[in-house]
Amino acid sequence: MKIKMWLASVMLGCSSMLTNAAVDIDKQAPDFSLTNTQGEQVSLADFKGKTVILEWTNHLCPYVQKHYNSENMQDLQKSYTDEDVVWLTIISSAPGKQGHVSAAEAVKLTEDRNASPSHVLFDESGEVGKMYAAKTTPHMYIIDDSGMLRYAGAIDSIKSANPADIAKADNYVKMGMTSLASGEELQYKKTAPYGCSIKYKS
Amino acid sequence: MINHIKLSCLFLWLICFHTVAEPTARNTDQATQPHIQVRLVSEFAQLKPGVNWFGIWLRPDPEWHTYWRNPGDSGEPPKIDWILPEGVSAGEIQWPLPSKIPIAHLVNYGYENHSLLMVPLTLSDEVKYGATLDISADLSWLVCKEDCIPGWATLTKTLKVASDHQPSAQAGLFDEAREQLPDEVVKSARYEITDNKVVLQLNELLPDGDWLLFPFSSSILNHAGAIQHIETAQSSTFVGAKSDYFTPSQNSLRFLVSDGQTGFYVKAQMNNAVAGEVLQAKNVSATFTYTTILVSMAMAFIGGVILNLMPCVLPILSIKALSMQRTSQSTAVKLAYASGVLVSFSVFALIIIAFKHSGSTLGWGFHMQSPVVVAALAFLFTFIAAALFDMAPAGNRLAGIGQGFIQQNGFTSQFATGVLAVVVASPCTAPFMAAALGVALVSSDMITLAIFLSLGLGFALPLSVLFWLPGLTRKIPKPGPWMSTFRQFLAFPMLATVIWLLWVFGNQTSPMAMMALLGGLLILFFALWLYRRTQRTFAHVAALMFAVSGFLVPLFVLTSPSTDSQATTLAFNKQQLAALRQDNQVVIVNMTADWCITCKVNEQVAFTSSAFTQALAQPQVHYMVGDWTNKNDEILGYLNQYQRSGVPLYVVYAGEQSKEVLPQILTPDLVVKAITKAVNEVNDEN
């Protein structure tokens, strides 16, 4: 009994060391620099003074398809980039894993789906995804014009792959952006993301 | 226009998706789709009125899995929308025991083999024998390996309603699935949230095994985190990493506890100071179930009826009964008396509730777990017993009031009679009221109100019956000396209650404290006797002082330092802490409370290890314990210094040079390391 307890507590000690709180809501969002489809380096710091939305994606994930095939994601991208918001679509799928695409494929996907992100960024090493504790595709983040992380979580409130649920759900990104625009506190700052696990390298 | 296009796109897509996802023809009970076969099965080949067991049989390819009700970090549970003929209704899915499926950096809960999701379908009696019914399920699921594929299918089974009931070919699946179901009994538990952990405690021991915790909601635990399971003397505790998405709520949390072979559900209530103490009840069954509430209400009702026989109630009621029989009255008037009684009792209950709440905001909660409250109740009941024996000064001063009212018969006067019967009779009703009060003080507001209303209903009943059936007037017992015999007899149940309270008190404290309480009760009796024997003021004052001092005796014993703590343990004291630090000593401060699960777990795990005891044995190391069980300002001030509003809090001081706040969940290693570090710092200074 004693030994079991001791082992358990050692394990617990280890596990708590491993869980690193990388990002915090209402704290400065950590900077990162990734390559876009044109082969240019894009950093968060490039967009000082602008609101930035991060979208983790994997075009083969049914939950991503739910939001793209229904045009829900494109609508969000369009309406916010029109308002001078920066929309960064990030792919953290490692080479050989589901959702990993070449720059050319990414450009084609954007065209085919009529999407309008400001940039599509590649995070093959998964470093940025892990820094932001991105778990699923989609996983959404809102960073305000002062560089503070204001929202992290699910795109909306109904966890399903069924596009019919989109209309019934509360869209957390929309709600967050609306609150931000009116200077109010966000009602939902952090929610449990839903979707496919991000296919990280390890 | 754009919207229109969008909608039609969505529509088209839906159609495409469904046609792709649903290659099989209509009216089929099974579907084969990428990486999974699904089938709607029935335990019996025919339907019968009552419960029929159906199931969704999910057979993923090897290495693919489907999900439990909470899928964990990602994924989605299967969803069943039943399409049922009239007279048939579906129950809840009976989820088999899931397993923990690690996928890369995430953890999912689900089924790696085939699973049967059993659902009871109930046929009403109106469904006729011989009828053929279509049982259909619109099913959606997600089947995953690392990648996931969602699927949809509508499965239909057509069965006849028949009295001849034969097991179907799949009946064996149901027997197998039943083996995989958790127990039906839902156990209660408490949970506590610390900085980054969720702590769940069950008041029982679990057999040896790898017990895992599966929360119903996905935003409670960090699913990938390890679950620590600790068995202590009387309870099992689970500590898991708190989910990043945890939002505190007052609601209960639900879990499945499973070792893979067996399992049971747990409904956990938030552990706060008061709730914790109620649940922690060592000997008092303070957790009121539905039945105990009903029993309490029934007892209160009977108590209310008995109140009518009290010496200061029965005469009034007799007068009333005699005066009213001449005239017949309207229903309103007949009900007026009962309303008066009920209103009075409600007011009384509300006063108590308000009193209780003001008390808890002031920090003195009424709960049976506090020995002081138990002692006070023992005094109260002893006093009531004395009053019933005519030993205590409980005069009948109010009894003469309102005689005029009572003899009239209008609505107002009837209502007033009700009110007065309660007020006027209070000297005699006190024993019952006090008993109800005792229960009320340790119960929730609704129960308090329910108990008092039951008492009121019982009290109002006999006379109200007489209003409706005046013929019964002759049957009411005549007032007489028997009433005082009856009254004295009632003192014995009161004394029995005192015995019970003493037993509770003894268990909570020590035989010594119980002796002190008995001594205190003796002094109370002496004081009462003294009061009755003499008419002199000074003797009355002395008696009062005696009574008060009687109460102080057990309190004194309670507050004197307990002897069972180790000699090396110091009670928390700000000045002493400052002095020790000035003296360049190492001090470990442990702020704890009896009701704090985390504190107790830490004490079991980290503070009982031999390494810790050895570390404490060093001459310059001191262990100081602050007990926050009965909250006090000194400790609150200390907690606030560290931006905490509750326990546990562990701080290790190295003289005045440094201090280290330890995490809320400790390991023996962690504490010993912190002490060693502090000792080295102190030694370097010397």
Q: Which residues in chain B (239-278) have CB-CB distances under 8 A to chain A?
A: 239, 241, 243-245
Which carries the bigger pLDDT value, residue B563 or residue B313? B313
Q: Rounded to a whole number, what is the distance in Å from the CA of B14 to chain A's nearest CA?
A: 8
Average pLDDT rounded to a whole number, residues B22-31: 66
Computed from CA positions of residues B638, B644, B645, B650, in that sequence, does the dihedral angle turn out positive or negative?
negative
* Nearest CA distance, B75 vs chain A (angstrom): 6
Tokens found for residue B412: 């107002």
Residue of A nearest to B602 (CA): A9
Q: Does A1 have pLDDT greater than 70?
A: no
Asked if A136 and B73 come within 8 Å (Cβ–Cβ), the reply is yes
Interface of B with A in 518-577 (CB under 8 A): none
**Cis preceding-peptide flag for B648 (omega within 30 of 0):** yes
**Residue B494 confidence (pLDDT) above 70:** yes
Cα gap B504→B523, rounded to integer Å: 21
pLDDT value of residue B311: 64
**Burial of B86 per CB tally in 10 Å (0-12, 13-18, 19+):** exposed
Of A1, A15, A136, the CB nearest to B225: A15
From the list A60, A69, A135, the residue facing B106 with the nearest CB is A135
Contact (CB<8Å) B74/A136: yes
**What is the arithmetic mean of pLDDT over B51-80?**
93
Output phi, psi for B330, to 5 deg: -75, 160
* B293 against B47, higher pLDDT: B47
Tell me the three state secondary structure of residue A118. Answer: coil
| Mean of pLDDT values over B131-148 | 90
Chain A interface disruption, residue of B79, B105, B666, most A CBs within 10 A: B105
From B77, which residue of chain A is nearest by alpha-carbon distance? A160
Distance between CA atoms of residues B507 and B211, nearest Å = 32
Residue B166, φ and ψ in degrees, nearest 5:
-110, 135
Cβ–Cβ of B670/A13 closer than 8 Å?
yes
pLDDT digits (tens, 9 = 90+) for B427-439: 556 556 666 666 6
Q: What is the arithmetic mean of pLDDT over B306-322?
A: 69
| pLDDT, averaged across chain B | 78
Q: Using an 8 Å Cβ cutoff, are B224 and B249 in contact? A: no
Q: Looking at A151-155, B1-5, B662-666, which range is the least confident one? A: B1-5
Better pLDDT: A160 or B565: A160
| Distance (Å, whole) CA B230 – CA B421 | 57
* pLDDT above 50 for B363: no
Identify which of A19, A69, A194 has the shortest CB distance to residue B241: A19
Confidence of residue A16 (pLDDT cuts 50, 70, 90): very low
Mark yes or no for CB contact A8/B230 under 8 Å.
yes
Read off the pLDDT band of B263 (50, 70, 90). Answer: very high
pLDDT for the residue numbered B23: 42
Q: Which H or E run contains B200?
A: strand B197-202
B231-245: average pLDDT: 82
Helix (H) or strand (E) holding B151: strand B148-160
pLDDT at B15: 43
| B385 pLDDT tier (thresholds 50, 70, 90) | confident
- Look at residue B143 and give its three-state secondary structure: strand
Q: What is the pLDDT at residue B224? A: 84
% of residues, chain B, pLDDT over 70:
77
- Specify the pLDDT at position B208: 83
DSSP state at residue A21: -
- Average pLDDT estimate for B133-142: 93
Please state the rounded mean pLDDT for residues B372-386.
Answer: 78
Residue contact A9–B13, C-beta within 8 A: no
Cβ atoms of B84 and B51 closer than 8 Å: no
- For strands B253-258 and B212-215, give the pairing: antiparallel
Q: Does B669 touch chain A (CB under 8 A)?
A: yes
* Cis amide bond preceding A138, omega within 30: yes
Q: Closest partner residue to B228 among A9, A135, A196, by Cβ?
A: A9
Q: What is the pLDDT of residue B297?
A: 80
At B241 the pLDDT is 86
For the domain made up of A22-197, the CATH class stated in words is alpha beta
pLDDT at B109 over 60: yes
Does the beta-carbon distance from A9 to B142 stay under 8 Å? Answer: no
Q: Which of B585, B554, B553, B582 is nearest to B568 (CA)?
A: B585
pLDDT, tens digit, 9 for 90 and up, residues B31-53: 999 999 999 999 999 999 999 99
> Which CATH number applies to B21-179: 3.30.470.20, 3.20.190.10, 2.60.40.10, 2.60.120.620?
2.60.40.10
Question: Which one of A5, A16, A192 has the shortest CB-CB distance to B245?
Answer: A192
Residue B538 CA to chain centroid, in angstroms? Answer: 49
**Residue A183 main-chain phi, psi, to 5 deg:** 75, 20
- Starting at the earlier edge strand, list the strands of the sheet with B36-42: B30-33, B36-42, B50-60, B115-123, B88-90
Does A161 contact B at CB distance below 8 Å? Answer: yes
pLDDT confidence tier of residue B24, bands split at 50, 70 and 90? very low
B contacts of A192 (beta carbons < 8 Å): 218-219, 243, 245
CA distance B562 to chain A (A): 28
C-alpha span between A69 and A61 (Å, rounded): 12
CA angle B69–B107–B217, rounded 5-degree value: 35
Give the C-alpha separation, B666 to B644, whole Å.
17
pLDDT at residue B320, rounded to an integer: 67
For residue A10, give the nearest of B104, B611, B259 by alpha carbon.
B611
Q: Are B182 and B263 in contact (CB under 8 A)?
A: yes
Q: How crowded is residue B157: how many other Cβ atoms within 10 Å of its Cβ?
A: 20
* Four-point Cα dihedral A111, A115, A121, A124, nearest 10: -80
Query: Could you tell me whether strands B263-270 and B253-258 are parallel, antiparallel, or unpaired per DSSP bridges?
Result: antiparallel
Q: From chain B, pick out residues whose CB is under 8 angstroms from the CB of A97.
A: 146
Say what the pLDDT of residue B568 is.
66
Rank A75-79, B206-210, B664-668 by mean pLDDT and report only the highest: A75-79
Measured from the Cβ of residue A194, the count of other Cβ atoms closer than 10 Å reads 26
Domain extent listing, chain B: 21-179, 186-271, 292-481, 569-685
Cβ-Cβ contacts under 8 Å, B663 against chain A: 16
What is the domain partition of chain A in residue ranges? 22-197
Question: By percentage, how much of chain A surpasses pLDDT 90?
Answer: 73
Average pLDDT, integer, range B82-109: 91
Q: How many CB pairs under 8 A join A and B?
A: 112
pLDDT at B427: 55
Residue A64, classed as helix, strand or coil, is helix
- Count CB-CB contacts under 10 A for residue B210: 10
Query: Which residue has better confidence, B553 or B586?
Result: B586
Q: Which of A1, A12, A98, A186 to mutate to test the interface with B (most CBs of B within 10 A)?
A: A12
Question: Is residue A199 less than 8 Å (CB to CB) from chain B?
Answer: yes
**E-assigned strands of B556-645?**
569-571, 586-592, 621-627
Mean pLDDT of B11-19: 44
- Rounded to whole angstroms, the Cα distance separating B94 from B81 reads 15
Q: Are B43 and B32 in contact (CB under 8 A)?
A: no
The helix (H) or strand (E) run that includes residue B228 is: strand B227-231
Domain B186-271 CATH class label:
mainly beta
Cβ <8 Å between A62 and B73: no
Q: B145 and B34 in contact (C-beta within 8 Å)?
A: no
Name the phi and psi angles at A129, rounded to 5: -55, -45
B187: β partners: B266
Provide, as residue numbers in chain A, all residues whose Cβ is less than 8 Å from the Cβ of B149.
Answer: 62
B4-8, B153-157, B161-165, B263-267: the lowest-pLDDT one: B4-8
Copy the structure tokens of residue B92. 């809840």
Contacts of A20 in chain B (CB under 8 A): none
Q: Is A10 on the interface with B (CB under 8 A)?
A: yes
Do the domains B186-271 and B569-685 sit in the same CATH topology, yes or no?
A: no
Comparing A20-24, A139-143, B48-52, the range with the smallest average pLDDT is A20-24
Question: Which CATH number is associated with domain B569-685?
Answer: 3.40.30.10
**Which chain B residues are Cβ-neighbours of A151 within 8 angstroms?**
none
Give strand pairing partners of B591.
B626, B649
Q: Spell out which residues of chain B touch residue A9, defining contact as CB-CB under 8 Å.
A: 228, 605-606, 666-669
Residue B668 touches partner A, C-beta closer than 8 Å:
yes
pLDDT at B277 over 70: no
Q: Quick one: DSSP state of residue A156?
A: B
User: Of A113-117, B417-421, B678-682, where does the model show the most confidence?
Assistant: A113-117
Q: Per-residue confidence at A31, pLDDT binned at 50, 70, 90?
A: very high
Percent of chain A beyond pLDDT 70?
89
Backbone angles phi, psi at B123, to 5 degrees: -95, 130
Q: Is the pLDDT of residue B19 over 50?
A: no
B148 neighbourhood in chain A, CB within 8 Å: 61-62, 196
B148 inside 8 A of chain A by CB: yes
pLDDT at B16: 42
Whether residue B141 has pLDDT greater than 60 = yes
Q: Which pLDDT score is estimated for B607? A: 84
pLDDT band at A13 (very low <50, low <70, confident <90, very high): very low
Contact B73 A16 (CB under 8 A): no
Secondary structure of residue A90 in the 3-state scheme: strand
Q: What is the pLDDT of residue B386?
A: 81
The rounded distance, in Å, linking the Cα atoms of B295 and B303 is 12
Instruction: Indicate the pairing of strand B66-72 with strand B99-103.
Output: unpaired
Q: Which of 83-142 (A) contact B at CB < 8 A?
A: 97-98, 130, 133, 135-136
Which residue among A162, A199, A202 sits closest to B146, beta carbon to beta carbon? A199
What pLDDT does B375 receive? 81
* Residue B16 vs residue B614, higher pLDDT: B614
Mean pLDDT, residues B384-401: 60
Say whether residue B164 is in contact with chain A using an 8 A CB cutoff: no
* Residue B602's pLDDT band (cuts 50, 70, 90): confident
The answer to whether B668 contacts A191, with C-beta atoms less than 8 Å apart, is no
End-to-end CA distance of chain B: 84
Q: What is the DSSP track for B236-295?
A: EEEEEEBPTT----SS-EEEEEE-SS-EEEEEEEE--HHHHHHHH-SSS--S--HHHHHH
Between chains, do B606 and A11 touch, taking CB under 8 Å as contact?
no
Confidence of residue B17 (pLDDT cuts 50, 70, 90): very low
Mean pLDDT, rounded, for B386-405? 56
Candidates A19, A191, A194; nearest CB to B225: A19
What pLDDT was estimated at residue B26?
Answer: 54
Q: Check B665 against A16: CB less than 8 A apart.
A: yes
Overall average pLDDT of the B347-356 stretch? 78
To the nearest 10 degrees (0 to 180), the angle between helices A2-18 and B668-685 is 70
Mean pLDDT score, B39-68: 94
The closest alpha carbon to A35, from A104, A156, A108, A119, belongs to A119
Q: Answer for the pair A50, A86: CB distance below 8 angstroms, yes or no.
A: yes
- Which of A74-78, B410-414, B491-495 bottoms out in mean pLDDT, i.e. has the lowest? B410-414
State the Cα–Cα distance between residues B8 and B14, nearest whole angstrom: 10
